[in-house]
Amino acid sequence: MIVTDYIDRGGYTKRQASLIQAKMASKAKRVSLNGSSSKKQLHLYQNWPCFNFREAAYGNRVYSLSSTGNGHSGSFGIIDRHFRKSAGRPPTWTQHDALPTPVSIARDPTFGEFLARMIGGSARSLGRVAVPAGSDDWSQVVDLLLQETYKKAFNHAPTLDSISSPRGVTAMAYLSDPVGRQGSRGQRTGYGWQPPFDGFETIEDVNPGGISVLRVVVTQNS
């Protein structure tokens, strides 16, 4: 889940959020969503039937996210390692709407472009509007996932071995203002591990134990 909070000078928070299913490209520029869990995720994002969470920590309330008048609740992130130009360059990650069913990579936005357009003030056009502590189902789902996911740890033995990586790792960046004063980048804390770019396998996570969250908070400093 991606959550972007844009806080203006008056202290008002404009929030966009999006659920993302990350998948490996089957071939160069090709998308295949034929796995068992991929089909379920595609059905969820295309139809948004009423649902409740399986884990007790999330409660037993039933949610409906079918209303899409104010944006898309979910999309697919396709990671294509075939685009890599050199050994030191990561694969290309592009974002795709669930409808129509994605089958190829053409002029779809990269993950960076997707994130920037979620943050970009009045020009925000991706993700779906959520309200912190809001009463609608989508806003409450976002708040609930933010609250519960930070209580968990990420455990995946094939990539992390016996390490349990804590959630809530923070990185800060100070960007130059419109006047042109130079900014400085804060120091990142936490683990410096990143996944290898070779030897990827499609992981069909039948019973996921949690959800990863990237939360971006942008504030205007006068």
Instruction: Give CA–CA dist 36/40, Å, rounded.
Output: 7
Residue 193's nearest CA partner among 163, 152, 150 is 163
Instruction: Give CA–CA dist 210/166, Å, rounded.
Output: 12
pLDDT tens digits for range 113-155: 888 888 875 545 688 999 999 999 999 999 999 888 766 655 5
Peptide bond into 158 cis (omega under 30): no
pLDDT tens digits for range 160-201: 566 655 556 666 776 665 544 443 343 333 334 444 444 444
Instruction: Give CA–CA dist 22/81, Å, rounded.
Output: 13
Amino acid at 80: D
Asked if 78 and 105 touch (Cβ cutoff 8 Å), the reply is yes
Burial, 165: exposed, middle or buried (Cβ in 10 Å; 0-12, 13-18, 19+)? middle
Q: Which residues pair with 14 in a beta bridge?
A: 6
pLDDT tens digits for range 157-169: 666 566 655 556 6
What Rg do the C-alpha atoms of the chain give, in angstroms?
18
pTM of the model: 0.73
Output the six-digit token pair for 92: 């290309």
